Structure 1
Amino acid sequence: MSDPVIFVGFTPESSRLMIGRSDSVAIYGLDPFEVIVEQNSCGASHLAQLNETSLVACVGTGSDPAFSPRVLRLINVTTNAIAAEISFRSTILFINFIPNLFVILLENILYVFDIQSLSAIFSQDISKNRTGLCAVTQKHCAQHLIAYPHNETSVLLFDVVNLKTVNVFKVHRCRISAMAFSSAGSELATASLRGTVIRIWDVKDGRLLHEFRRGISPVKIMSLSFSHDDAFLASTSDTNTVHIYAINASPEPTSTSAISSYYPKSLTAPSLSRSDYQLRLKANTPSLKRNRCIGQWHASTTKLFIVTSYCGDANLLVLTFDFWNGAFHLIAEDSLTPAESEFVDAVAITRDAEEPTQGTSVDWAEIDMATAETISSARITNSQNDRRQMN
Structure 2
Amino acid sequence: MNLARHSISPTDPLILYDVRFDPDCQIFTTSTPEGFAVYRALPLDLLRKREVSGGILSSVVPMHCSSLLFLVGGGRDPRYPPNKVVFWNEALGKEVAELEFREKVRGLACRRGWLAVALRRRVVAFEIGESVKRYGEWDTYDNTRGVIAIATGAYSTLLAAPARQPGHVQLIRLPPCPPPVPVGPPPPIPSRPPPPTTKHSHSVIVAHNTAITTLAVTPSGRLLATTSVRGTLVRVWDTATGKQIRELRRGSDQAEIYGVAFRPDEAEICVWSDKGTIHVFSLITGAGPLNRQSKLSSLTSFIPIPKYFESEWSYAQFRIPTQSAHISLTQQATARDANPDLVEEEKCTVGWIEASTLHSAADAPLPATEYQLIALTYTGGWYRLALPKMKTSSAPMGAAQANGTSSASVRSGRARSPSGSSVTAGGRTDKGKGVTRDSDRKEGRDCTLLEFRRFGSWDGWG
Q: Give the TM-score range, shorter chain.
A: 0.7 to 0.9
Between the aligned partners of 2:323 and 2:60, the Cα distance in structure 1 is: 25
Between the aligned partners of 2:201 and 2:305, the Cα distance in structure 1 is: 32
Shift of 1:30: 1.1
Cα distance change, pair 176–124 in 1 and its aligned pair in 2 (3 A): closer
Describe the superposition over 1:187-224 as per-residue Cα deviations: whole angstroms up to 9, x where unpaired: 11112212111111111222111112221111111111
Is residue 154 from structure 1 mapped to residue 168 from structure 2 by the alignment?
yes
Shift of 1:62: 5.2
Task: Give me the TM-score of the superposition, normalised by structure 1.
Answer: 0.75
Q: Secondary structure at the match of 2:380?
A: strand
Tell me the residue number matched to 2:273. 237
4+ runs deviating over 4 angstroms:
162-165, 253-260, 287-290, 338-341
Pairing 1:1-391 to 2, within 5 Å after superposition: 1=12, 4-21=15-32, 23-41=34-52, 42-61=55-74, 63-64=76-77, 66-116=79-129, 117-161=131-175, 165-249=201-285, 271-286=310-325, 291-298=346-353, 301-309=370-378, 313-324=379-390, 325=407, 326=444, 327-338=446-457
Shift of 1:172: 1.6
CA RMSD of superposed structures (Å):
3.0
Between the aligned partners of 1:232 and 1:206, the Cα distance in structure 2 is: 20
Describe the superposition over 1:358-379 as per-residue Cα deviations: whole angstroms up to 9, x where unpaired: xxxxxxxxxxxxxxxxxxxxxx
Shift of 1:165: 4.4
Cα distance change, pair 164–97 in 1 and its aligned pair in 2 (3 A): farther
Shift of 1:290: 6.5
Cα distance change, pair 90–333 in 1 and its aligned pair in 2 (3 A): same
Between the aligned partners of 1:101 and 1:244, the Cα distance in structure 2 is: 30
Cα distance change, pair 90–60 in 1 and its aligned pair in 2 (3 A): same
Between the aligned partners of 1:149 and 1:219, the Cα distance in structure 2 is: 23
Do 1:232 and 1:246's aligned partners in 2 also have CA atoms closer than 8 Å?
Answer: yes
Between the aligned partners of 1:166 and 1:58, the Cα distance in structure 2 is: 29
Q: Secondary structure at the match of 2:97?
A: strand
Larger radius of gyration between Structure 1 and Structure 2: 2
Between the aligned partners of 1:74 and 1:32, the Cα distance in structure 2 is: 27
Runs (5+) with no aligned partner, structure 2:
1-11, 177-198, 288-296, 333-343, 356-369, 391-406, 408-443
Do 1:180 and 1:188's aligned partners in 2 also have CA atoms closer than 8 Å?
Answer: yes
Do 2:56 and 2:78's aligned partners in 1 also have CA atoms closer than 8 Å?
Answer: no
Between the aligned partners of 1:192 and 1:276, the Cα distance in structure 2 is: 22
Do 2:345 and 2:377's aligned partners in 1 also have CA atoms closer than 8 Å?
Answer: no
Describe the superposition over 1:336-356 as per-residue Cα deviations: whole angstroms up to 9, x where unpaired: 325667xxxxxxxxxxxxxxx
Q: Secondary structure at the match of 1:229?
A: coil
- Greater share of residues in strand: 1
Describe the superposition over 1:257-314 as per-residue Cα deviations: whole angstroms up to 9, x where unpaired: 5678xxxxxxxx99422111122221122158962122111168411011123xxx22
Q: Which of structures 1 and 2 has the larger relative contact order (alpha carbons within 8 angstroms, sep 6+)?
A: 1
Shift of 1:5: 2.9
Task: Give me the TM-score of the superposition, normalised by structure 2.
Answer: 0.64
Do 1:58 and 1:73's aligned partners in 2 also have CA atoms closer than 8 Å?
Answer: yes
Cα distance change, pair 129–2 in 1 and its aligned pair in 2 (3 A): same
Runs (5+) with no aligned partner, structure 1:
261-268, 342-391
